[in-house]
Structure 1
Amino acid sequence: MFVVMSDSHYDRNVVESIKKKYQASATAIFHCGDSELLSSDEIWNGITVVAGNCDYDNGYQDFILQEVEGKKVLITHGHLFYVGLGLDRYSYFAEEKGADIALFGHIHRPVAQKINGVLYLNPGSVAQPRGEYDVKMYATIEITDRQYKISYRNLQHEPISELQFIL
């Protein structure tokens, strides 16, 4: 199981809370950008994090491809691929990189869908939710035989009932 969060916008405490909850049990913890924290902050020890459009520290990378639980996981913020307009550009990039899972942030809304066998996931925002679900949230992903169990969770680490998926 691994954890995905995004768009914490200066809220270091929420990143710390999620890290503390999962650091002993998760195989990986990802932050999809717009933390607005320094890339040298010790909070990032044990967390894979990328640059968002509000991260001005040049110590962050625009994307990272990492293997987790036998899957190639691509992580980016999404602004460079215009994810607010759809996933076309990001899906081309993810397929080019051979990703099995493509994580992104930027739009502050939960997205979980498969395109050409690749799982695309936006964990929503842990600080500034937008859209239909006005809940600060993050996601966990469990990999089972040929399926992904996706659980969106609130900041009390409770599952959000209508945002539980098997894809």
Structure 2
Amino acid sequence: MKFLIVSDSHGSTEILQELSTRYSNRVDAMIHCGDSELTADNPIMADYLTVRGNCDIDARFPDHLVKEMGGINVLVTHGHLFNVKMSLMNLSYKAKENAAQFVFFGHSHTLGAEMMDGTLFLNPGSILLPRGRREKTYALVEVESSRVYVRFLNENHEELVDLTATFSL
């Protein structure tokens, strides 16, 4: 199972179209963790499972979604409703309530991936306005057997090798 995760594109359509063109036939799911600032009927969003961020005005996007994909229970949210800039505790409670194995979120514009209590928490950073690093980023997550491979890439699709991580399920 392969996932592309992007967040906080804040109205930038070019990079979302580029990601869609590049990956739509190479991944099993393309996920946008909110603050696209686009409408749900924008054709660019058709390839993405998308949630509503604090800067999104289109209420047709859900605040969060829980979806089983390839035998993996995935929770997607923007993060603002769970106060992720302060702590992942509230989000971890939501993950436990929904038996989520993967949690994808944005909001802080700060990339990161960590395994906590058997759940992968991943923030792809921002593809437009990064914090903590200069690179505009998105993430690729690949599951093979009992391993999860996480790669962060910049807007030029170059892997940030120092951030590559492998986790056990």
Partner of 2:107: 106
Q: Secondary structure at the match of 1:119?
A: strand
Name the SS of the counterpart of 2:163 in structure 1.
strand
SS at match of 1:159: coil
What is the distance in 2 between the residues matched to 1:83 and 1:105?
Answer: 8
* Structure 2 counterpart of 1:140: 140
1:164 aligns with 2:164: yes
Following superposition, which runs of at least 4 residues in structure 1 exceed 6 angstroms of deviation?
Answer: none
> Once the two structures are aligned, what percentage of the paired residues are identical?
37
State the TM-score, normalized to the length of structure 2.
Answer: 0.96
Task: Tell me by how many angstroms 1:54 deviates.
Answer: 0.1
Establish whether residue 42 from structure 1 lines up as the match of residue 43 from structure 2: yes
TM-score (norm 1): 0.97
Query: What is the distance in 2 between the residues matched to 1:38 and 1:46?
Result: 13
Q: CA deviation at 1:142?
A: 0.5
1:145 CA drift (Å) = 2.1
Residue deviations 1:40-69, cap 9 Å, x none? 111121210000000011111000111222
Once residues 97 and 47 of structure 1 are traced to their aligned partners in structure 2, the CA distance between those partners, rounded to angstroms, is 21
- Equivalent-residue separation in structure 2 for 1:142 and 1:38 (angstroms): 29
- 1:111 deviates by 1.3
Comparing 120-129 and 43-52, the one that deviates more: 43-52
Q: Using the alignment, how far apart are the partners of 2:25 and 2:82 within structure 1?
A: 33
Residue matched to 1:90? 91
Give the whole-Å Cα distance in 2 for the aligned partners of 1:154 and 1:8: 13
Alignment gaps of 5+ in structure 2? none
